[in-house]
Amino acid sequence: MSEKILDKHLQLLAVIYIRQSSDGQVRNNRESYLVQQGLQQRATELGWHKDRVLIVDGDMGVSASEPGQREAFTQLLERIRDGEVGIVFAVDVSRLARNNIDFSQLTHWCAMYGALVGDLRQVLNPALPQDGLLLGIQCAMAIHELHSIRERMQRGSQQKASRGELHLGIPTGYVVIDNKHLRKHADARVQRAINSVFEKFDTCVSVNQLFKQLCDEKSLIPRIVPGSQGEQVHWSPVTYRGLLKMLKNPAYAGIYAYPRHQTKTRRSAGGKMTKIRRRTRPDEWQVALHNHQPAYLSEETYHANLEKIAMNAQRSAPSGGAARAGSALLSGLITCRHCQHKMHVAYSRKGQARYRCRQGERQRSDMPVSVEGGCFSFAAEAIELQLADQILWAVSPGGVAASELAIERLRADRDSQRRLIADELLHLQYEAGLTRRRFNNIDPENRLVFDTLAQELEVNLQKVELQTAKLKAFDHTCPEAPSDAERTKLKALGHCLSAVWNDALSDRSVKKQIVRLLIDHIYAERDETSGEVILNIKWHGGHHTTLRGPASRHREASLRDELSTLIDTLRKLNDDASIARILNRAAIAAGPVGTARTWTASQVSAYRDRHDIAAYSSSERQRQGWQTQHQAATNLGISPMSINRLIEAQILPAEGKSPFPRVINAEDLSKEAVQAAVSRIKAHANAPLPTNPNQRTLNF
């Protein structure tokens, strides 16, 4: 018994502090726990009764490198301050603390309240200068040892990572060969499932859309069984977090990256230090080995996927965000030039969209004086119709190619879904065959094993039957796609993208995706003089376009109706190219409201499709008897000017208004009033023409 142990110490508790630094040590190093637990015997040998020995093991699996992170150690300090502890036992000082703050608190309170510190070899009194010095040296050595261990481990990890042989997490679909290299999983079903995820994401707007699609298809994704080096997998439903992790992992592009994650220490609101683990950016990788392992996708596709995910981030300032629900095409893309905040979309009860700058309104609501040129709102329909013309003009050259790509994707999606169902059927058939072979090799007299295998075989055969029925149902409901009729229809649609775009059944989310692929960002402002809204559009190619439109929907509707009536009249006598020339001669700018652009035949066609206006038809013109002013003048034997006089005098009915071509019905030429007027004109052919259409010629 040590001379430092007094009777007052024996009357108090002998606390045995047990700790292991990680969960792995707790699971795999059981002997260390037993050695520390053996300090009970040393406590009794030094004079403590077994009822006075208390084991504190609440910090198992917790590191002692960070101060204030161990609850059991904090409770031990409280017991020392309360005068309940006579001695604290630990195998060595490193078990008590590996940081100066915790160790200083322990020795300070032990010295103040007369508690001792002991291990397997000695008992020390922190109140004594020599013992306090010895404990301090042991603590410094423990801290230095921890830093040395970490440094050696980090150097070893970096050296191994520089060769691409350090695999802290094995991606699903890969296996580790010789504990060094990654190779694709040998199971074709696993490879096809991984490929299917990347192929489907290529056609999806966002990760959320991909997640919903896979959930609707009830797709299963392989998951690696822990400790199997990637060789053993189990199949489970998809999760959003798992998809996002897979899409962001550079290993699938054949890139070995190290480190993939970084850990930072932050102080919480309560003052507690917490560690936050975040994914590293490519510029933070210390090791980047390209083409290091077989890839599931190209590096170009991988970076495009990352860009798509970043653009879908709703809170990202330069991003327009993912396409949201609703009819507005430009939601998330428009920035108010007055206050530099994104404009939000508001919908009326009738579903009419309107862009509004709410953030600017909130900022100015507290200002005593109104801000000149403040934020505003404007109707979405007119300006989006103009934008649709711009987009159709940009993508129309690729219409046929897009239809061919749609045909190929329809076929590929159908084949991919069927292949996944067939792969699962093959796997279930293998499991059933394996169970059958085990069942056939069992002696029927061994009823315990025989009955168990019989039940297992029955379950596996039922799974095979259900999967076979699922495959047959898929073939019945989803035949070879697309059919010949569908192929013909898709190719025809490739030549008339405007009809596809303006069709009521067209997917609005696809339109929004096209807009986001073409447009970088849009700045909106209001022209205080005309009251119009001005959109300054920056396209991804670097070009800039300016659109103007009415901020009020009522003015927009009036202008749209006037233009619709005019084009509906002109199309009876003219094709789209002729209508475009007429509108350009009249200085009517392209669009439903008016911009600085001139009309083209394709823009006229797109406008007609949007407003359900029929195209020019020579057979319909002949059947209805529609004639131009020149044709009517020729048939009546008078001049075109005289025809205009008759129209202005409301003698000859005509559709349209000056200065545009009029539409005259052939039947109206035979009316009595028209014939009488024509006779008078022919009788006085040499009389001068009046300058005023309401002026009458006096016949003497």
3-state SS record for 60-113:
CCCCCCCCCCCHHHHHHHHHHHCCCEEEEECCCHHHHCCCHHHHHHHHHHHHHH
Instruction: Evaluate whether residue 345 is within a structural domain.
Output: no
Last residue of a domain, one of 290, 311, 332: 311
- With contact defined as beta carbons under 8 Å apart, do 421 and 467 qualify? yes
> Cβ–Cβ contacts within 10 Å for residue 468, how many?
14
- The CATH number for 300's domain is 3.90.1750.20
* Residue 570 located in a structural domain: yes
Structure tokens at 242: 């798992």
* Distance separating alpha carbons of residues 197 and 193, to the nearest angstrom: 7
Which residues have a Cβ under 8 Å from the Cβ of 674 and sit 6 or more positions away? Answer: 636, 646, 651, 652, 668
Rounded to whole angstroms, the Cα distance separating 30 from 21 reads 13
User: Is residue 537 included in any domain, yes or no?
Assistant: no
Give me the residues paired with residue 56 across strands: 17
Q: Which of 650, 647, 675 is nearest to 663 (CA)?
A: 647
Instruction: Give dist(CA 567, CA 251) in Å, integer.
Output: 57
Q: Are residues 107 and 206 in the same domain?
A: no
Within a 10 A sphere around the Cβ of 2, how many other Cβ atoms? 15
Weakest mean pLDDT among 180-189, 425-434, 635-644: 635-644
* Same domain (yes/no): 152, 24: yes
Instruction: Reply yes or no on whether the pLDDT at 368 is more than 50.
Output: no
- The gap between the terminal CA atoms of the chain, to the nearest Å, is 154
- Which of 174-183, 200-209, 237-246, 552-561 is modeled with the greatest confidence? 237-246
- Same-domain pairing of 432 and 476: yes
Instruction: Classify residue 377: in a domain, yes or no.
Output: no
Half-sphere exposure of 574 (CA within 13 A, CB side): 21
Q: Cβ distance 533 to 551 under 8 Å?
A: yes
- Predicted confidence (pLDDT) at residue 596 exceeds the cutoff of 80: no
DSSP structure class, residue 377: E
SS3 522: strand
Range in 47-61, 140-154, 343-357 the model is least confident about: 343-357
- Cα separation, 514 vs 533, in Å, equals 23
Please state the rounded mean pLDDT for residues 513-525.
81
What contacts 471, CB < 8 A, 6 or more positions away? 418, 421, 422, 425
For the chain, the maximum distance between any two Cα atoms, rounded to a whole number of angstroms, is 154
Residue scoring higher pLDDT (40 or 586): 40
Q: Are residues 413 and 303 in the same domain?
A: no
Q: How many domains does the chain fold into?
A: 5
Say how far apart CA 356 and CA 516 lie, in whole Å. 20
Res. 148: pLDDT tops 80: yes
Query: Are the C-beta atoms of residues 60 and 18 closer than 8 Å to each other?
Result: yes
Same domain, residue pair 598 and 571: yes
Q: Which domain holds residue 213?
A: 174-311
* Measured distance CA(33)–CA(22) in Å, rounded: 12
Final residue of a structural domain among 577, 595, 613: 613
Q: Which of 494, 526, 544 is where one domain is finished?
A: 494
* 589 pLDDT tier (thresholds 50, 70, 90): low
Q: Decide if pLDDT at 296 tops 90.
A: yes
- Alpha carbon distance 475, 349 (integer Å): 44
**What tokens does 444 get?**
């029927």
Tokens at residue 424, please? Answer: 């699962």
Q: What is the mean pLDDT of residues 321-339?
A: 74
Query: Do 212 and 126 belong to one domain?
Result: no
pLDDT of 553 strictly over 60: no
SS3 188: helix
CA distances from 678 to 629, 654, 687 (A): 14, 16, 14
- pLDDT for residue 697: 43
If one counts every other C-beta atom within 10 angstroms of the C-beta of residue 287, the result is 16
Tell me the C-alpha distance between 159 and 161, whole Å.
Answer: 5
| 188 and 301 inside one domain | yes
Dist. CA 495–CA 397, nearest whole Å: 9
Burial 262-279 (b: 16+ CB within 10 A, else e): eeeeeeeeeeeeeeeeee
Residue 527 belongs to some domain of the structure: no
User: What band does 698 get if pLDDT is binned at 50, 70 and 90?
Assistant: very low
Q: Which two tokens stand for residue 697?
A: 């010629």
Question: Where is average pLDDT lowest: 46-60, 259-273, 459-473, 498-512?
Answer: 498-512
Query: Is residue 324 one of the residues assigned to a domain?
Result: no
Report yes or no on 320 lying in a domain.
no
Q: Which parts of 228-272 are beta strand (E)?
A: 233-237, 256-258, 261-267
- Strand partners for 546: 536
Pairing mode, strands 544-550 and 174-177:
unpaired
Q: Which residue has the tokens 């009488």?
A: 676
Query: How is the chain split among helix, strand and coil, in percent rounded to 5?
Result: 50, 15, 35
Q: Where are the extended beta strands (E) located within 337-452?
A: 344-347, 353-356, 377-379
| Claim to verify: residue 232 and residue 277 sit in the same structural domain | yes
Domain check: are 47 and 152 in the same one?
A: yes
pLDDT of the residue at 12: 92
- In the three-class reduction of DSSP (H, G, I as helix; E, B as strand; rest coil), residue 204 is classed as coil
Q: How far apart are CA 295 and CA 666, in angstroms?
A: 73
CATH of the domain at 645: 1.10.1660
Query: Would you say the pTM of this structure is higher than 0.75?
Result: no
Give the whole-angstrom CA distance, residue 654 versus residue 674. Answer: 12
pLDDT for position 594: 43
Phi then psi dihedrals of residue 312, to 5 deg: -85, -5
Selection from 66-70, 77-81, 99-103, 553-557 with the highest mean pLDDT: 77-81
Query: Cis link prior to 126 (omega < 30° from 0)?
Result: no
- 654 HSE (CA, 13 A, CB side): 28
Look at residue 1 in the predicted model and tell me its pLDDT: 60
pLDDT at 370: 39
Judge if 144 and 183 occupy the same domain. Answer: no
Distance CA 334, CA 521 (A): 7
Whole-angstrom distance, CA of residue 41 vs CA of residue 455: 54
- 8 Å CB contact between 161 and 287: yes
The closest alpha carbon to 53, from 83, 24, 89, 91, belongs to 89
3-state secondary structure of 496: coil
Higher pLDDT, 369 or 309: 309
Mean pLDDT across 461-477: 87
Task: With a cut of 80, say whether residue 482 has pLDDT above it.
Answer: no
Could you tell me if 106 and 193 lie in one domain? Answer: no
Residue 520 in any domain: the answer is no
Mention every residue, 6+ apart, whose C-beta is less than 8 A from residue 155.
Answer: none
What is the spatial distance between Cα 182 and Cα 251, in angstroms, rounded to a whole number? 9
One domain for residues 130 and 261? no
CATH of the domain at 125: 3.40.50.1390
| CB neighbour list of residue 590: distance below 8 Å, 6 or more residues apart | 386, 389, 583, 597, 598, 599, 600, 603
Alpha carbon distance 491, 470 (integer Å): 32
